[in-house]
Structure 1
Amino acid sequence: MKGKERTFLLEDGVKNTIEQWGSSGPVLLCVHGMTSSRRGWERLAGRFSSTHRVFAYDQRGHGDLAGVTGPMTLEQSVRDLEAAVRTIGEPVDILLGHSWGGSVALLGGPRIAARSVVALDPVIRVVPGTFGPDYVADLRELLALEGETRKDGILAMYADLDPLDREAKVHALSKMSIRAIEGIGEENGVEAGKWDLRKRLSGYEIPLLILVSGEDSVISPGDREWLGRQGPGVTVRTIDGAGHNIHRSHLDRVVEEIRGFGKTVFQD
């Protein structure tokens, strides 16, 4: 189900697109991860659009912003989030992010005064020496292709996904440059160990739900245990059998967890 699209400007004048599903209810704002785009939230938006107003936008280097490969710092990503919130013009009830987008949501939640944050297998910490092998290597060959050849490669790489998710990958990756992914690592100092959100999460001031993949998680067991000790406002749940892309493979469970969390947070 395609949403209603409108354009807005980021702080540096870059034109972006925000998409909305649903016309009434609490605001649910979604931030996608690497190699995805706003359209990667379409299936989830379909589950919430009868009760929420769901919004999603493209991050730099992805989807409609494939040609914008900088700045790629987390600080810039949070500023782009702030621009999206200004466009919505209302408080965000649930800020939802996956992977890299989960990192942006965790950092941006307090900045935009979100009422709650949900992070799906967010990148809490990147161990030096792992970013290239984990995030860049598999994409280099695909992104060297062009035109229809690249599209065919994308569809083949993600052949097991739901058709809507496959089309979202085409939107995200058709014009992407490997420079965008490299920039996320380089500009955030991953090789110097600077991608580490633990200090920012200690004493987190907003109700927070973190859903951790049971398999292939980007969160180490030690960090998962640490997150679970961050106080009553932080809820950590592991979805057994789920890979990193929880909202694709285990959508029903993710929707259930978000709805349950929302009832707890907004019960008054």
Structure 2
Amino acid sequence: MTWRLLATPGAAPEHGRPRVVAAVHGLADHGSTWQDLAVRLGPGYRCYAVDAPWSGDPGRSLVDSAGPAQWLRRALAAVPEPVDVLVGHSFGANAVLDHLATGAPPTVSAAVLLAPLVRPADQAPHPVLIARTRAAIRQVVADGLRARLGPRAAHVADDLLATMVDKALQRVPDGAADLVLDRLLATPRPALGQVRTPILVLAGRDDQRLAGVRANSLAVLPAAQVRVRPHYGHFCHITQATEVAAECAEFLDRVVPALSPAGPTLEVSA
């Protein structure tokens, strides 16, 4: 697997080396989803992104593959320098959460979870929840397309958008829907109370499909700050990139200690 180093503006920070961020995308997405956020975080952060097995790349399959946490551990070992911060969006946020809940190395200083998939503790995994989750996967793919289209989305006819969503869903890896359901229904609640890593959870109040106010149930994490914003969407790292970057930087500046000066420049390798 190959991590890509995302472009950031400006020179290195005046004091110390940049904080190293590893970012994990959601279902049927790609590592490029983090570019806007990386630019807005600025030179104080060096951001890497990877295309996970649950991306929309042709030929990908999750059947009989390692679970998200196991995959992430192997992926982190391939980052060309030690990671200070883990960032995950949607299903990628759950991979980050599962990794932290296992307590397995490599460890990080902090994490940011954007619109994670969470089942509130008082909601049993009944058939209605499962059916809604399957329908929500389609809606999330549609929201992702709209987020990337930006203002152009207003000029795309509904039937054309539906066709685009169908094509995107065809690229969703085999077994992905079942894996999403599995992780939604098996949120590792008993282990969450043991996670001491400082965590920022960001979600949108009206994002009722896979995240939204359900993120409040992550308050069980002893070192978590859960922030539900009224105007954030499921893809807030794209549609509200400036605000999300500011929230991330404010949080990380407080919880991640100042880092020593940077050593030699490292190159990204497979």
- TM-score, normalized by the shorter chain, greater than 0.5: yes
> Is the alpha carbon distance of 1:265 and 1:157 closer, same or farther for their aligned partners in structure 2, counting shifts above 3 Å?
closer
> Is the alpha carbon distance of 1:159 and 1:189 closer, same or farther for their aligned partners in structure 2, counting shifts above 3 Å?
closer
User: Where do 5+ consecutive residues of structure 1 fail to align?
Assistant: 1-7, 9-16, 143-153, 164-172
> Could you tell me how far apart the structure 2 residues matched to 1:91 and 1:235 are?
24
Deviation at 1:27, TM superposition (A): 0.8
* Residue aligning to 1:117: 111
User: Is 2:89 the partner of 1:98?
Assistant: yes
Deviation at 1:181, TM superposition (A): 5.2
Deviation at 1:237, TM superposition (A): 0.6
* Residue aligning to 2:225: 235
> Could you tell me how far apart the structure 1 residues matched to 2:166 and 2:4 are?
19
> Could you tell me how far apart the structure 2 residues matched to 1:155 and 1:128 are?
24
SS in 1 for 2:231: coil
Note the alpha carbon deviations across 1:191-244, whole angstroms, 9 max, x for none. Answer: x973324333223221111012121143364x444333543x111111221111
Deviates more, 1:211-220 or 1:52-61: 211-220
* Residue aligning to 1:208: 199
* Residue aligning to 1:186: 178
Highest relative contact order (Cα 8 Å, sep 6+), 1 or 2? 2
> Could you tell me how far apart the structure 2 residues matched to 1:240 and 1:138 are?
18
Deviation at 1:188, TM superposition (A): 5.6
> Could you tell me how far apart the structure 2 residues matched to 1:220 and 1:121 are?
6
Alignment of 1:64-213 (within 5 A): 65-71=57-63, 76-109=67-100, 110-111=103-104, 112-125=106-119, 127-136=129-138, 159-160=149-150, 178=170, 180=172, 183-187=175-179, 190=182, 194-213=185-204
Deviation at 1:137, TM superposition (A): 7.2
> Could you tell me how far apart the structure 1 residues matched to 2:64 and 2:166 are?
19
Deviates more, 1:249-258 or 1:212-221: 212-221
SS in 2 for 1:33: coil
Contact 2:30 2:55 in 1 (8 A): yes
SS in 2 for 1:35: coil
Contact 1:204 1:234 in 2 (8 A): no
* Residue aligning to 2:211: 219
Contact 1:117 1:207 in 2 (8 A): yes
Contact 1:116 1:265 in 2 (8 A): yes
CA RMSD of aligned residues (A): 3.4
Contact 2:206 2:233 in 1 (8 A): yes
Deviation at 1:58, TM superposition (A): 0.4
Deviation at 1:250, TM superposition (A): 1.2
What is the aligned length? 226
